[in-house]
Structure 1
Amino acid sequence: MLADNLDTSMVTTIEQPELLVGLLLAHILADFYFQPFAWVKQRNERHALALPLYIHTLIHGVFAGAVLLLLSENISLTTIGVGAIIIAVSHFKIDVIKSYCVQSTTAFVIDQIAHVVVLLGVFLYATDQWQYVLSALRQLSAGDLVITLAYLAVLKPSSIVIKQLLSPWSSEVLSSNTQTTHPNDPPTISTEAQQTLSLAGQRIGYLERVLMLTFVLLNQFSAIGFLIAAKSIFRFGDLTKHQDRKLTEYVLLGTFTSVAMTLVIGLLCAAALGRLPIKP
């Protein structure tokens, strides 16, 4: 959406986009294909004292320097050297900080975002195109902010609201599951495992609502029906195995609450953008 609002002349005058793509490609190769798992394990155990971390940092610097040298135009060797050093040193520091963090999806995403921001900064530094970032920020419209707000709303805020709406039945369903002695019921799992499964369910809800919101904004309502049908098929086996009417009703209530909430947010967003599929 943001690209639609940018001035075409400004977009076409951005210089050397292949350099940025090359830096991202070098990062992916060095970070995922030229870093064995044993190196990652040593880094997490020994932190800044791990020798593989220094080798990994050197690989990033060499790859970045090669890309800057081969794909840049009218850039001095000093700028190329400084850019490669910035990428290598920043990568080392970011990885050391990550080694002290709990290894999770959140830590991984933040780590990669930090690396990409550095690469973007080096690209803008090497090509002296900071003005385009400022121009892009000035081109942000109310529509872009509305879309961003909608996607943020269907994530954690919606999850909290759904949990609160279902709270009157949550304790009843949980107590029913723990007291059942049906022979087809699965074995009891630990509290830690229940928390892990709960987090997995939360992530599934996030993905489900993000996909539904995207389909609403693209006016692809048939895809939403396919998504709900696919989820229902996967859940049918679990619900049949439990043979618990309360659990079935609870799952259906949660699913339809999530769908209804996402549809409302999506339609409000589409209305604010003037793209409401239902014309008066």
Structure 2
Amino acid sequence: MTSLLAALFLAHVLADYVFQSAWMVAQKSKSETLFLHFLIVLGAAMVATGQLADPWIYLLALAHVIIDWVKARFADDGIAAYLADQGAHLATIGALALIAPDLYATGLWGTAPAWVAHAMLLAAGLIYTTRAGGFAVGKLMQRFGDSPFTTTPTGTAQDGESLQNGGFWIGVLERGLIFLMLIGHMPAGIGFLVAAKSVLRFEATQDTKKAEWVIIGTLASFGWAIAITIGVIALRDALPPLEIMRPTP
């Protein structure tokens, strides 16, 4: 069942954060966009589980787009709706794993080495930590109004000589580094990351509002990365162990 969870998690991440464009997100309430997203979710689930005709895969994709339709139709674009949407998707994945635990074992990857499921989980975890975390932090910061940093006509936050989209890439890299450090059993490196960011951001945070903005965003980004990575580690430890080949004496 744990291998199935890893596969379905990867399918969800690919469908929502890799193959779903900004245009699709903006047009999610339209039936044709939902159908296109249904096909993407279905295709990702088929590839990840190695199942092409199992009805549970189709029901999973249907449940996914129903959740998206409900969010687009009745919810706002805030952090609470985003977390509820993601929680519903992950709960659906967990429910399917309980109902049909042999879905992965009877699929194309059922006889594959254990490292395949491990690779799926780590890839999904890295994408979810970096990409999904960026949306979560961005929606959280909307609660505090407009950014105190100068904003360009295109909506990109700038401050003096800041790079275009610099804040976005800083967030992606810091969450990715946290994920890698925790997976690699190097949690002490997170303290170094905090110190380095504090030093580099010192001049930009002399203003109280800017300082609070950076602190809240940083703590939210770090918190998301740590929480998701802890979950990934827990699931990884429950996966079938990797078979390490020992040298012949």
**TM over 0.5: same fold?**
no
TM-score (norm 1): 0.39
TM-score (norm 2): 0.43
Larger RCO, structure (CA 8 Å, separation 6 or more): 2
Between Structure 1 and Structure 2, which shows a larger proportion of helix residues? 1
